Amino acid sequence: MTERYAHYKALKFARPRPRVLEVIMSNPGKLNALDATGHREIAEVWRDIDRDPETSVAVLRGEGGVFSAGGDLSMIKDMHESWDVRTRVWREASDLVYNVINCMKPVVAAIEGPCVGAGLAAAMLSDVTVAGRKARIIDGHARLGVAAGDHAAIIWPLLVGMAKAKYYLLLNDPLTGEEAERIGLVSLVADDDKVVETALNVAERLVAMPPGAVRWTKHALNNWLRMAGPTFDASLAMEFMGFSGPEAKEGMTALMEKRRPKFDPKDPF
């Protein structure tokens, strides 16, 4: 039943319940980090889901009880060094956000363990988010040395308000699932061993709802995000401008060397 997704390499698919499609990020041993293939696929898959007549609801999760550690470091290094890679990934990052928003099928995210980067973008833009109590949600962009582009500017202020959005996006403090639910960043919190089950139960309830009403409601509500499109486009441009600069180089090097970054405190402007 998942033959239409056979060409995907970094994503796995399953149908645990009727008309529910599991989209599973899989990179064993690397916390399901998204390499170049995974980043492209997590942007593209929503178009295929939208056209899939056998799917009413998608559930996004990571393999092995871990959501995703974000972009693979080798891809980030290539982005810093290559204009061609940087522009390609910029387009994919834009497609990821708009494709999740425009997918008419509802998406439920099951967040276990670390949730960072492109995986976090897909999760936060999902229609229902279920997080484990000990999940670790972190944007991470500013700490890496680039602006919080991706999905952050388009949806965090809407979910949690500007004050909380600025606090967490500027300081990059990690959020547990419990705290994320308390401030409104995620829809539900569940025991860590019940996250996927809870997400599947939500998906099953959505399948039982009138499909047209559900999809049109999602489409209408997401007009709030479409109105913020220019803000997102600007933030993404600022993020990818940063990937060519010295702060991103230091942030990436510090990550690879497993040390604290040493950024120049002087104002660059």
What is the arithmetic mean of pLDDT over 224-246?
A: 95
Residue 202 placed within a domain = no
113-150 pLDDT, tens per residue? 999 989 999 999 999 999 999 999 999 999 999 999 88
Name the burial class of residue 2, with classes exposed (0-12), middle (13-18) and buried (19+) by CB atoms within 10 angstroms of its CB.
middle
Q: Within a domain: residue 203?
A: no
**61 assigned to some structural domain:** yes
In the chain, the number of structural domains is: 1
**Is 199 among the domain residues?**
no
Q: How many C-beta atoms surround the C-beta of residue 190 within 10 A?
A: 22
1 confidence band (pLDDT: 50, 70, 90): low
If we measure between CA atoms, which residue out of 144, 147, 152 comes closest to residue 122? 152
pLDDT of residue 22: 98
Confidence of residue 263 (pLDDT cuts 50, 70, 90): very high
Residue 73: what pLDDT? 80
Q: Residue 126: which H helix or E strand, with range?
A: none
Supply the pLDDT for residue 3.
85
- The predicted pLDDT at position 2 comes to 77
Assess contact for 75 and 35: CB atoms under 8 A: yes
pLDDT of residue 208: 98
DSSP letter (8 states) at residue 175: E
pTM, whole model, 2 decimals? 0.95
For the chain, the helix, strand and coil percentages under 3-state DSSP, each to the nearest 5: 55, 15, 30
pLDDT at 72: 81
What confidence score (pLDDT) does residue 177 get?
98
Its domain, for residue 48, covers 3-194+208-257
pLDDT at site 150? 84
Per-residue confidence at 71, pLDDT binned at 50, 70, 90?
A: confident
Of 119, 107, 3, 127, nearest in space to 46 by CA: 107
Mean pLDDT of the chain: 95
SS3 168: helix
Which residues partner with 176 through β-bridges?
136
Q: What is the pLDDT of residues 195-231, one digit of tens each?
A: 999 999 999 999 999 999 999 999 999 999 999 999 9
Q: Lowest-pLDDT range, 53-57, 76-80, 186-190, 240-244? A: 76-80
User: What six digits make up the tokens of 190?
Assistant: 């569940």
Q: Tell me if 263 is assigned to some domain.
A: no
Q: What CATH number corresponds to the domain at position 61?
A: 3.90.226.10
In a domain, 13, yes or no: yes
**DSSP string of 245-266?**
SHHHHHHHHHHHHTS------S
